[in-house]
Structure 1
Amino acid sequence: MNTSENQNAIFPKGERAPADYFTGTAWLKMLVQANDIFNTSIGNVTFEPGTRNNWHKHPGGQILIVTDGVGYYQEKGKPIQTIRRGDVIQIPPDVVHWHGASHNSEMTHLAINTNTQKGIVEWLERVTDEEYNKI
């Protein structure tokens, strides 16, 4: 399933995500910027097939809501999980992890960064092809 031409997208793709933090092509549309009232940021992220972000962690935690496609999520030291439209992943503060599209499908999710007063993200090393292909 490749949903790159999905005309039912909820939000626009936005701008290309920084290549420093992604292997492959991803798109980011920020929907809510962090502020002192809500302490939350929300971004709509679309990963092309085979694309993933680097290992990273969120000081305030993160919630992912998959809105389209099929992807992968992995916490350091644990097996890769397949994630699909409708899945909700709650990531506690400072848990090192990565997420991205499966080999053959785009994947879009809402990335909700909570407690942003503690910091939003700390980027780490790239996910290697060997790590990604362990699915």
Structure 2
Amino acid sequence: MQVTRVSPDTAAAPPDWVIGTVWIDEISAPTGPSRLRIDSVHFAPGSRTVWHRHPLGQVLHVTAGTGLVQRRGGAVDIIRAGDTVRIEPGEWHWHGAGPTTFMTHLAVQEIAEDGTEAERGDAVTPDEYPSRRPTD
């Protein structure tokens, strides 16, 4: 088995896509006919994405810690190591760490034929992000 490293460095997430401190390790970037992207995303406590949506959906698999995910119009759900969340194509959502916990997840999505990965929306407001962990 040959191991190919896509990127040797952890990169800070683009600041217009996140609130707080978030790091990304690229695991697989689309090349050739494949349009599959896989990133390992590390969120510091209280950090999260902005509202966004993916044209072909997204799968999140939590590998460490405890975090939160919310779909537009839905409740804020707790996600833990081992949980997998499927975000439907075009569904507005956000995800990140809990207010006092770190969280790492794999983010898996197929890039649209036109190269679109995601559409960025508004920041998650303090009213939308719970200052305390929601009850289980």
Same fold (TM over 0.5): yes
The code of the aligned residue for 1:15 comes to A
Question: Which protein is bigger by CA-based radius of gyration?
Answer: 2
- CA offsets 1:65-103 (integer angstroms, 9 cap, x no match): 100000000000000000000000111110000000001
Q: TM-score, normalised by structure 2?
A: 0.85
CA distance in 2, matches of 1:48, 1:19: 14
Contact preservation (8 Å) 1:41, 1:116? no
The code of the aligned residue for 1:88 comes to T
The code of the aligned residue for 1:131 comes to E
| 1:79 aligned onto 2:80 | no
The equivalent position to 1:133 in structure 2, one of 124, 130, 133, is: 130
The equivalent position to 1:40 in structure 2, one of 14, 36, 40, is: 36
Structure 1 consecutive aligned stretches of length 4 or more whose deviation exceeds 6 Å: none
The code of the aligned residue for 1:83 comes to I
Q: TM-score, normalised by structure 1?
A: 0.86
CA distance in 2, matches of 1:13, 1:95: 30
| 1:50 aligned onto 2:46 | yes
Q: How much has 1:38 moved relative to structure 2?
A: 2.2
| 1:24 aligned onto 2:11 | no
| 1:59 aligned onto 2:58 | no
The code of the aligned residue for 1:23 comes to I
Q: Which blocks of at least 5 consecutive residues in structure 2 are unaligned? A: 1-7
What residue in structure 1 maps to residue 5 of structure 2?
none
Q: How much has 1:37 moved relative to structure 2?
A: 2.4
CA distance in 2, matches of 1:90, 1:105: 22
CA distance in 1, matches of 2:9, 2:79: 20
The code of the aligned residue for 1:93 comes to P
Instruction: Specify which structure has the higher proportion of helix.
Output: 1
- CA offsets 1:39-75 (integer angstroms, 9 cap, x no match): 2101110000000000000001100010000000000
CA distance in 2, matches of 1:13, 1:21: 19
Contact preservation (8 Å) 1:34, 1:116? no
Q: How much has 1:19 moved relative to structure 2?
A: 1.1
